[in-house]
Every structure is written in C-alpha cells, then in structure tokens.
C-alpha cells in the first residue's frame, strides 16, 4: 500500500472520527427518570404555568446527571464536515460504549460510515471504496488512549480522544448560564408535548461559572468547553424542548466557528436501556497505530 493512499485513508477517518466524537460529546440534555422511559407520552403532566423559564431549564438539566445510556437521532451542520445526519446508541455507565451510523451528506459516496466505540478504541467502518484502500479490510481502529499519549494522531485525533470519555449530557447545564432564557411556546416533538426554551451563553461565561463546582465536575465540563474553544466558538445559541416530566426531548445548539457554522439538533428516542457494542473482527480491521508506524518506516 502506498503512503499517499494510507495518508488519504487516515485523513478521511480522522475527519469522521472527530465529527463522531463531537456529535457524541455534544449530545446535550438527554435526561433520566425513575421509570427509565418516555413512552408514557399522553401521561406527561403539563408544565406548571408558574415555573419561570430559567427554573424549568435548570430542573431539566439537573435531571440529566443520572443518565446511564441513550438512543438519539441527529441532523445538522458540523464545521469542515458540512451537513450530517446520524443515529446512535451510547452507554456511559459502567463503561463507555457507542454505536453510530453517520452520513456526511456533502461528501458523496465516501460520506457514510459506522462508528463504534468499545474497550477504549474507536472503529470506523466504511463501504467498498474504503476496503479497496485498506487491503480489503472494512474497519480502521484508533486506540484513543495510545494515540493521545503518543501524538501520532495529531491535533484532530488528540481532541477526539480527549472527548471520547465524556458524558454526553454535560452540555445540558450550559443553558442554565444564559441570562436571557425565555419561553418560546409549546410544540409537539415525536408525539410528545413539549415547552420550547431558548437562550444564548458565552463560552467564557460558562467557564467562569464553574468556579463553584467541585473539582471533578469542573474538570469534566472544562474538557468539554475546550472543544468549543478549539473550534473558535465564542458563544452558543441553545434551544431546549422539555416535556411535562421535566426531561429534555430535543436539544439544538448553534454557533459560529472558525471553519464554518455549527448547528446540531438532537432528538432523544429513549434512554437508560441496555446498550451492547461489539468490536469488529480483528481480521477485518486495520490498526491506525500500525499504519502510522509503517508509514514512518518508509
């Protein structure tokens, strides 16, 4: 295999990996409940008319802390990747695992990929064209821990590796820092009656608000904020659709980044259900670390 082909494959996979991690890490505000399901659509109680917008958002954000797994759908625009759509299942406890099928709509035949995160490794699976560039193998493996320590994956994979272990519900707390949270109205999302709230918040303001948090919480949220800073994002416009049980049914974040707009809408389908992710067969997988080592050796 020529180095130029390897390099092309690596760059494609790097872009897909970073986008996947961003999407997973940005899965904001999915929440948990005692019954672990939102299927009781008609039973959801109406929001109290006396609840102020800021209080409603804060309550939904607080409910996100106990989430263990989620299933969501995504549509939006990601800097450098363009338009994307995806559907994913992710487990946060007891160990992190994710399975995502993603399509980059502006990248033609090479824009569809399946991403699996399991056992601290990320796997990217493409179609027949990818297999032609990888000696017939359909998957490429990224050992995130090893790449982060060695720097072999460069800045993009380093950022991705740093985001891989993040609870995707973290960003749900960010809208609580907005000073202009307001109620937009009531809307039905996936058959569920919700109340729509919106607001804007600066990344620096979010970072400053973390001073009162405990060390562990502060470090986790700062790591998430670092991803936005690296993209050149200064402020976020955020929308939350909260159901009658104070759970976020849908979430949208918009921002101007250095390399294009960030605009992602997540719709939460279910949560706190078992999520099992299996690694692809080793015989059908090419290890990035071995690819890089071979390239460096000529």
- DSSP type of residue 277: -
Query: Which of 252, 114, 91, 108 lies closest to 187, judged by CA?
Result: 252
The average pLDDT across 240-262 equals 89
pLDDT band at 188 (very low <50, low <70, confident <90, very high): very high
Domain total in the chain: 1
3-state secondary structure of 297: coil
- The pTM (predicted TM-score) of the whole model is 0.76
Computed over every residue of the chain, the mean pLDDT equals: 75
Query: Residues 49-103: pLDDT tens digits?
Result: 557 998 998 888 888 777 888 888 989 988 877 898 989 898 988 888 989 888 8
The average pLDDT across 177-181 equals 87
Between these two residues, 3 and 185, which has the higher pLDDT value? 185
* CA–CA dist 103, 238 (Å, integer): 24
| 274: its two tokens | 């078992």
- Which pLDDT belongs to residue 1? 37
3-state secondary structure of 92: coil
Statement: residue 29 has pLDDT above 60: no
Statement: residue 297 has pLDDT above 80: no
- Which pLDDT belongs to residue 36? 39
The average pLDDT across 122-143 equals 80
- Which pLDDT belongs to residue 191? 94
CATH number for the domain that contains residue 115: 2.50.20.20
* Stretch among 68-77, 188-197, 207-216, 238-247 having the lowest mean pLDDT: 207-216
CA distances from 99 to 25, 70, 114, 173 (A): 13, 11, 7, 25
Number of residues written out for the chain: 298
3-state helix, strand and coil shares in percent for the chain, rounded to the nearest 5 = 40, 35, 30
**Which residue range is the domain that position 59 belongs to?**
3-296
Statement: residue 31 has pLDDT above 70: no
């Amino acid at each position: 295999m020529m180095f130029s082909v390897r390099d092309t494959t690596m760059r494609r996979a790097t872009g897909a990996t970073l986008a996947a991690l961003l999407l997973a890490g940005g899965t904001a505000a999915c929440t948990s409940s005692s019954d672990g399901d939102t299927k009781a659509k008609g039973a959801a109680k109406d929001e109290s008319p006396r609840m102020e917008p800021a209080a409603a958002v804060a309550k939904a954000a607080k409910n996100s802390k106990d989430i263990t797994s989620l299933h969501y759908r995504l549509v939006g625009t990601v800097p450098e990747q363009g338009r994307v759509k995806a559907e994913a299942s992710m487990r946060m406890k007891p160990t992190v695992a994710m399975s995502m099928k993603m399509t980059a709509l502006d990248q033609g035949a090479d824009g569809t990929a399946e991403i699996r995160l399991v056992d601290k490794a990320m796997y990217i699976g493409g179609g027949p064209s990818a297999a032609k560039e990888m000696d017939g193998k359909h998957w490429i493996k990224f050992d995130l821990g090893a790449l982060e320590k060695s720097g072999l994956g460069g800045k993009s994979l380093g950022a991705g590796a740093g985001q891989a272990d993040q609870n995707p519900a973290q960003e749900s707390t960010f809208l609580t820092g907005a000073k202009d949270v307001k109620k937009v109205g009531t809307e039905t999302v996936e058959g569920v009656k919700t109340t729509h709230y919106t607001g804007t918040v600066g990344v620096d303001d979010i970072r400053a608000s973390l001073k009162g948090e405990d060390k562990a919480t502060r470090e986790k949220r700062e790591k998430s904020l670092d991803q936005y800073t690296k993209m050149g994002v200064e402020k976020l416009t955020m929308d939350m659709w909260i159901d009658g049980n104070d759970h976020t049914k849908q979430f949208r974040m918009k921002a101007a980044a250095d390399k294009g707009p960030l605009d992602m809408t997540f719709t939460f389908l279910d949560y706190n259900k078992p999520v099992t992710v299996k690694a692809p067969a080793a015989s059908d997988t090419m290890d990035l670390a071995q690819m890089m080592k071979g390239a460096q050796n000529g």
